[in-house]
Amino acid sequence: MIISRSTLGFALLATMPEVISTSIPPYSEPTDFDPIAALAVRGISVEELPDTSPHIITASYKNCTAAVSKLASIYSNQVTLLGAPDYDPWRAEFWSKYQESAKPACIFRPKTSGDVAVAVLISRWSSCPFAVKSGGHAAMKGASSSDGGVTIDLVNLNGVDLSEDKKIARLGSGNTWYKVYTTLEKEGLAAVGGRAADIGVGGFTLGGGISFFASIYGWGCDNVANYEVITATGEILQVNYQSFPDLYWALRGGGANFGIVTRFDVETFEQGDIFAGGLAYNYTAHGPAVINAFSKFASNPDPKAATWLVVANRQGTDLLSTLTMYREPNPEAPVFRDYREIPALSNSTKIRTLADMTEQIRSTNPKGLREMYWTHTFKFSKDFITWFAKMFFDELRPVQEKYQGHLPSPVFQIITKDCLARMSRNGGNALPLKEEEAPYMNLIYSCMWQNEADDGAVIGLIAKVMGKAVEEGKGRGIFVDYVYMNYGSEYQDVLGSYGQENFGRLKGIAKKYDPRGLFQLLMPGYFKFSGAPKKEGPGVINV
Ligand SMILES: Cc1cc2nc3c(=O)[nH]c(=O)nc-3n(C[C@H](O)[C@H](O)[C@H](O)COP(=O)(O)OP(=O)(O)OC[C@H]3O[C@@H](n4cnc5c(N)ncnc54)[C@H](O)[C@@H]3O)c2cc1C
Ligand SMILES: *[C@@H]1O[C@H](CO)[C@@H](O)[C@H](O)[C@H]1NC(C)=O
Ligand SMILES: *[C@@H]1O[C@H](CO)[C@@H](O)[C@H](O)[C@H]1NC(C)=O
Ligand SMILES: *[C@@H]1O[C@H](CO)[C@@H](O)[C@H](O)[C@H]1NC(C)=O
């Protein structure tokens, strides 16, 4: 049985003009809300557990035994218990070793939104914490697998269904973008999604979502017409700009703080083959020319194009490598002329499908390694990029051979004015970016390495390089205090960086839809209102 508060139809969305809602609909959790009664409505009977109160939310791993046995009794073939034959192979599927290291009391694979609602209510009843996994690409431990609690793996929520007019694709939140792209390409369509094949629809879209199409369509979160959300009381809401505009705004960049999204109904667009691939250049020989070519995007972007710039050393050569993507099968796009004129060490650009491009990016970001992302935002500055590349290579040189499998890859991406303009439709999103300050650049320090013994040193280097970048950015007056969630490290306070106003508004919305803080207390992984997931810094090593 599905309890649905909003009946605002899906069919309505695709054709509905942009109506500005004047009143925010009421929503409240009954003060005496009782998960035992709510489970009973769904035909599930549970007893009150000793030392727990159905009216208070507390997290305790002690009663996970109760939660697990209840889930297993209702959904035997959707639950994997700790120690079962498929338990370790499942953990090994995480992209990052940090996530693999978490050992959930059980893995639960819901098949319907109702199953997700039951899992939320069982957690609330038993006080057993949980985590939610979509693509599992968050790098930090506990983000999408609970150490000791229940991990809800959305993998079976994998529908990709087009509306009749094909303008909306309803995406189950356990999909990877590869599955979405390969399904939509049969119709000559695409959607605003991730650039690596195995990124999940869930995490990508909740944090913002930078795609190849950002300059035309904005970020992933700006292209969701409707979210299906399971609330802290196990209700199933259809959340869109008309039905719940406050929650709709919060879900656009506010992360996993308001509910579990079971379906994202995203806008589609027509898309055929693209011209895309990577180009690697010798930094020593061509550094300034490559940085010039990249920087032209900031002042004169072609909305059909996308690019990023990676600063890296491979086999002893300092490199600048770029990704170029043109959304038409055109190898001669003028916007990339400057890149074409610089001799490249390697060149994988070609006419291909979007899905094929994301598969190449996946293959260069293999799973099973120690991984960290760390990010900051700046107003665009070519000189800063030049400064950063030199500083980074200077810091890296003495240690680059020291740690096994050490592949640090800082990446610059431009957030164009066109992108910002697109973010503001339908009430805007929760991110603190302003059109008049654009273009911005995002700097993400992405890094993989092999051995746990090197964690301190590698993370210390990341912290040191990013600390210097922040200091330099502040000195140049270009530092922007916005930490992009999808690239944030566990040492960073993402929501705190959204600015007082947005942070306060987000907290207020969470208080309305989840007044007792279930998604803070019982789903504690990843970026919450309480600040950085890890409160202690990694320290800075002597290099
Ligand atoms: C190789 C690689 C390439 C990337 N490329 C891009 C890119 O092109 N653009 C970009 O913006 N980012 C990119 N990222 C970052 C990526 O978007 C984030 O890591 C994102 O969190 C991954 O989403 P996921 O669903 O795979 O991860 P998960 O680890 O499954 O989810 C991340 C967080 O979101 C929560 N969550 C997920 N789904 C739901 C849901 N349905 N309801 C509630 N909470 C949920 C999880 O609990 C978890 O805390 C990339 C990352 C990697 C490793
Ligand atoms: C739940 O935890 C309490 C202690 O916190 C314990 O007394 C009780 O036996 C547990 N119940 C179950 C069913 O595990
Ligand atoms: C890169 O350029 C430098 C300077 O021109 C040159 O010495 C070096 O051999 C080049 N490296 C490669 C891999 O081509
Ligand atoms: C890379 O290859 C494509 C064709 O595959 C070509 O059009 C382009 O000029 C090449 N670029 C560089 C920089 O060599």
Ligand 3 centre and the CA of 338: distance in Å?
A: 20
Nearest CA to ligand 3 atom 10: 282
In the chain, where the domains are located: 41-156, 274-498
Which residue, 187, 58, 28, 179, is CA-closest to 128?
58
Q: How many CB atoms lie within 10 A of CB 143?
A: 25
pLDDT at residue 537 in the model: 63
Ligand 2 centre and the CA of 435: distance in Å?
A: 53
Which residue, 314, 364, 366, 477, is CA-closest to 92?
366
Ligand 3 in reach of 314 Cβ (< 6 A)? no
* Cβ–Cβ < 8 Å for 361, 210: no
Residue 342 CA, closest ligand 4 atom number: 13
Residue 350 CA, closest ligand 4 atom number: 5
Residue 332 CA, closest ligand 4 atom number: 7
Q: 29 burial class (0-12, 13-18, 19+ CB within 10 angstroms)? A: middle
- Helical ranges in 234-278 per DSSP H: 245-251
Q: Report the distance separating Cα 368 and Cα 98, nearest Å.
A: 9
Share of residues in the chain with pLDDT > 90 (%): 90
What φ, ψ does residue 157 adopt, rounded to 5°?
-90, 75
What φ, ψ does residue 506 adopt, rounded to 5°?
-60, -45
Nearest CA to ligand 4 atom 6: 331
Look at the alpha carbons of 365, 464, 482, 243 in this order and tell me if their dihedral is positive or negative. positive
**What pTM does this model have?**
0.94
Q: Report the distance separating Cα 31 and Cα 362, nearest Å.
A: 47
Q: Which helix (H) or strand (E) holds 69?
A: helix 64-74
Residue 62 CA, closest ligand 2 atom number: 2
Full pLDDT tens readout for the chain, 543 residues:
333 444 333 333 444 444 444 566 789 999 999 999 999 999 999 998 888 887 899 999 999 999 999 999 999 999 999 999 999 999 999 999 999 999 999 999 999 999 999 999 999 999 999 999 999 999 999 999 999 999 999 999 999 999 999 999 999 999 999 999 999 999 999 999 999 999 999 999 999 999 999 999 999 999 999 999 999 999 999 999 999 999 999 999 999 999 999 999 999 999 999 999 999 999 999 999 999 999 998 888 899 999 999 999 999 999 999 999 999 999 999 999 999 999 999 999 999 999 999 999 999 999 999 999 999 999 999 999 999 999 999 999 999 889 999 999 999 999 999 999 999 999 999 999 999 999 999 999 999 999 999 999 999 999 999 999 999 999 999 999 999 999 999 999 999 999 999 999 999 999 999 999 999 999 999 999 999 999 876 644 333
pLDDT at residue 535 in the model: 82
* Cβ–Cβ < 8 Å for 326, 301: no
Ligand 4 centre and the CA of 181: distance in Å?
A: 25
Which residue, 479, 525, 495, is CA-closest to 430?
495
Q: Residue-wise over 290-327: b if at least 16 C-beta within 10 A, else e?
A: bbbbbbbbbeebbbbbbbbbbbbbeeeebbbbbbbbbb
Ligand 2 centre and the CA of 186: distance in Å?
A: 52
Residue 317 CA, closest ligand 3 atom number: 13
The CATH fold of domain 41-156? 3.30.43
**Residue matched to tokens 């939509």:** 184
Which residue, 506, 522, 376, 378, is CA-closest to 441?
378
Nearest ligand to residue 130 Cα: 1
Angle, nearest 10°, between helix axes 64-74 and 113-126?
Answer: 150
Which long-range contacts link 351-354 to residues 24+ away (Cβ below 8 Å)? Answer: 351/273, 351/274, 351/275, 352/273, 352/274, 352/275, 352/276, 352/277, 353/181, 353/185, 353/273, 353/274, 354/181, 354/185, 354/190, 354/212, 354/271, 354/274
What's the length of the chain? 543
Q: Residue-wise over 245-283: b if at least 16 C-beta within 10 A, else e?
A: bbbbbbbbbbbbbbbbbbbbbbbbbebebbbbbbbbbbb
Looking at 339-493, which runs of residues are DSSP E strands? 346-347, 350-352, 370-379, 407-415, 440-449, 479-480
DSSP string for 20-36: PP-SPPP----TT--HH
Ligand 1 centre and the CA of 362: distance in Å?
A: 14
Q: How far is CA 472 from CA 165, 308, 466, 467, 477, in A?
A: 50, 21, 10, 9, 9
pLDDT at residue 318 in the model: 98
Ligand 4 in reach of 352 Cβ (< 6 A)? no
SS3 481: coil
Looking at 10-149, which runs of residues are DSSP E strands? 79-81, 106-108, 130-133
- DSSP lists the bridge partners of residue 446 as 373, 409
pLDDT at residue 171 in the model: 98
Q: May I ask the CATH architecture of the domain 274-498? A: 3-Layer(aba) Sandwich (3.40)
Q: 20 burial class (0-12, 13-18, 19+ CB within 10 angstroms)? A: exposed
SS3 439: coil
Q: Which residues line ligand 1 (CB under 6 A)?
A: 95, 131-138, 143-144, 154, 173, 194-196, 199-200, 202-204, 206-210, 256, 260-261, 365, 486, 525-526
Ligand 3 in reach of 317 Cβ (< 6 A)? yes
Furthest C-alpha separation in the chain? 72
Q: Report the distance separating Cα 417 and Cα 430, nearest Å.
A: 17
pLDDT at residue 11 in the model: 36
